Structure 1
């Protein structure tokens, strides 16, 4: 088990803290603006950005990851460039080409499906539009964020199979449902990937032990840091895709470090999401160039930190949250 980074004094985190709010091109995951808290440690800048609805116990894991990244050397990189996918929100099919155009050189697309308020026909139209835009050689994966039950997921996989899916990410919520769906669609040759069943689970290895997935989608912040994520992949013995949590470029660089350190990396990673923002804290943003991201730390631009600073009340909300999560880590240690 990875030894967590020693806790620095809370004042060291608060002393360099910047809270930002970055606007999104298209509403995504139910939000129009992404808030994040950034701070600087001896090794560089890091990001603490658990989603607002997460409680302090869950958010503290994200803080442990941020502290590790700012206070400890990153693991040795095995590669210099990380191939990434385009991310297509649950937009109308007509909007697909303009979304894909933001992801320079990406030949893989992850398409959001099972959006509340939409129906399967919307998903089929969106995925068809992606296939038409990318051509037969483009790779398409879909992500349902656990929104289907087993029967709905089986029906959806059949409806979308004609578009030659690379894999289906988190089609159902529970490990048991994933295992049942995988059994039902195995003959189709479409892999099942687990995301929430890893990053939000008390036991992130349960999905592997149950034979419920063919690959894992891993994220550095929710799993407690790059080192812990690497351990999970090794223990699970499954291929991994590194994805973002809608991070700023600072947080994305942590995900890139994770992808760079994996012994094997057979899939494009979901780390191109800076292209979903209209602004960032780094100039230029850590966005795809030729379908890839360069490995390395990034440094926020002071002018951009100021330009995209969150409101005073939101800054206070984040600083108080940081202090509460710090206390969770302190008492747990």
Structure 2
């Protein structure tokens, strides 16, 4: 389909501001712009530091959700992981309790201002809570250099890590880390996240043999169909993750995970549980460790309940217009 005009997008736009239960990557209040189109609801919620060109991918994903149908699914439910922010070990059981039935946990590490010993203590607490059978993956968001990553992962390996997500910032560093871990006999697989979703060429991860797993997010890649193409081209096992979305945005991630031919890992799609509220009375939060595939409709009363202040709504409307200018009006949305 052709790209809707910006006035059409703005006509059905609602901006919400929902507090986080605990800060996550420095975010205390999550803002999102919700789009309403002929197929339902879509979400536009790039992080605040992203410029119009990068944000345009998120807008394309929101437009796809609201103006197009999603690909056919091959599964009705998707297994998801718990997400543990950079909290102290004493807070870990309370965080995990928000993800009922989840037997996999993604643990934030390499938090700015915290020592690596805090990472070890946090992961140890998660292992104690999940028991031997639980799966643990860590996410450094590119916060380590190669040597530091190898050192800390060597200390964390005793807790039987499923993989380390974006331990270093660049594709070249991920490649070098994989080689170094192999030389040290550390069997910790490396997953690429930012090197996929922020890259102008996400296939460099494949070309440089820089990862064992790819983490894909619908919004930064421009939609469900675009993300499916990236996974197919990479030829690596994929984990579908989210970006602190409301349930409207989360539904797109579930649609992608439900459409993948193979899904060997639990997906990072349970983060609605980190929000104080949502835009639907039946949030997409894990039940028995899974989420159902399907569209989510925003509730008018909840849109009013979490409505952003007027000045923030104006800011987001201007951001939609700026991102829209970077999309091809004659191509697919």
Q: Which TM-score applies when normalising by structure 1?
A: 0.97
Question: 1:306 and 1:69 mapped to 2: Cα distance?
Answer: 22
Question: 2:141 and 2:135 mapped to 1: Cα distance?
Answer: 19
Structure 1 range deviating more: 260-269 or 9-18: 9-18
Q: For residues 327 and 88 of structure 1, do their structure 2 counterparts lie closer, same or farther at Cα, with a shift above 3 Å needed?
A: same
| Equivalent of residue 51 in structure 2, options 47, 55, 70 | 55
List runs of 5+ in structure 2 lacking aligned partners.
Answer: none
Instruction: Give 1:150-299 correspondences, 5 Å limit.
Output: 150-186=146-182, 187-299=185-297
* Secondary structure, aligned partner of 2:72: coil
Quote how far apart the aligned CAs of 1:31 are: 1.2
List runs of 5+ in structure 1 lacking aligned partners.
Answer: none
Q: For residues 322 and 25 of structure 1, do their structure 2 counterparts lie closer, same or farther at Cα, with a shift above 3 Å needed?
A: same
> In the alignment, what sits opposite 1:329?
327
Q: For residues 281 and 260 of structure 1, do their structure 2 counterparts lie closer, same or farther at Cα, with a shift above 3 Å needed?
A: same
Equivalent pair of 2:197/2:221 in contact (CA under 8 Å): yes
Answer yes or no: is 1:305 the counterpart of 2:303.
yes
> In the alignment, what sits opposite 1:89?
85
Question: 2:38 and 2:73 mapped to 1: Cα distance?
Answer: 19
* Secondary structure, aligned partner of 1:50: coil
Quote how far apart the aligned CAs of 1:216 are: 0.2
> In the alignment, what sits opposite 1:112?
108
> In the alignment, what sits opposite 1:142?
138
Deviations 1:177-233, CA, capped at 9 Å, x for gaps: 100110111332211000000000110000111000001000000001111110011
Question: 1:147 and 1:257 mapped to 2: Cα distance?
Answer: 30
Structure 1 range deviating more: 309-318 or 276-285: 276-285
Question: 2:225 and 2:10 mapped to 1: Cα distance?
Answer: 24
Question: 1:267 and 1:258 mapped to 2: Cα distance?
Answer: 14
Quote how far apart the aligned CAs of 1:6 are: 1.5
Deviations 1:260-319, CA, capped at 9 Å, x for gaps: 011100000000000001101011211000100000001111110000000000000000
Equivalent pair of 2:2/2:329 in contact (CA under 8 Å): no
Deviations 1:227-272, CA, capped at 9 Å, x for gaps: 1110011111000000001100000000000000111000000000
Quote how far apart the aligned CAs of 1:69 are: 1.5
Quote how far apart the aligned CAs of 1:332 are: 8.7
* Secondary structure, aligned partner of 1:76: coil
Question: 1:14 and 1:273 mapped to 2: Cα distance?
Answer: 27
Q: Which TM-score applies when normalising by structure 2?
A: 0.97
* Secondary structure, aligned partner of 1:328: coil
Quote how far apart the aligned CAs of 1:330 are: 4.2
